Amino acid sequence: MTHITKIKTATKIRDLMTGMTVLYKGDLLTVGRNDVKYDSFTGYSFKGDAASKTITRVIFRVPTIKGFRHEG
């Protein structure tokens, strides 16, 4: 797990896109098409949770011949 970079800043739910990897409540998850929803009353939510402080964006550092490449 040394090739994982966690984004330190708070990730806003509205900035999440399908295919991104996030750390959510201790689990490593890939954002799916139906995970991010918008409601006019609560705003954006991820898996029904509107608290973006529980979401951390994760980027994988993939070793290649020319050095590391970032994915995620």
Sequence ranges of the domains in the chain: 4-71
Q: pLDDT higher for 14 or 51?
A: 14
**What pLDDT is recorded for position 1?**
47
| Predicted model pTM | 0.74
For residue 50, what are the CA distances in angstroms to 12, 43, 68?
Answer: 10, 7, 34
- Gyration radius (Cα) of the chain, Å: 14
Question: What is the spatial distance between Cα 59 and Cα 47, in angstroms, rounded to a whole number?
Answer: 20
Q: Which amino acid is at 67?
A: G
For residue 48, what are the CA distances in angstroms to 20, 53, 65?
Answer: 17, 14, 41
Question: What is the spatial distance between Cα 30 and Cα 55, in angstroms, rounded to a whole number?
Answer: 12
Per-residue pLDDT reduced to its tens digit, 17-58:
999 999 888 899 999 999 999 988 888 999 888 877 778 888
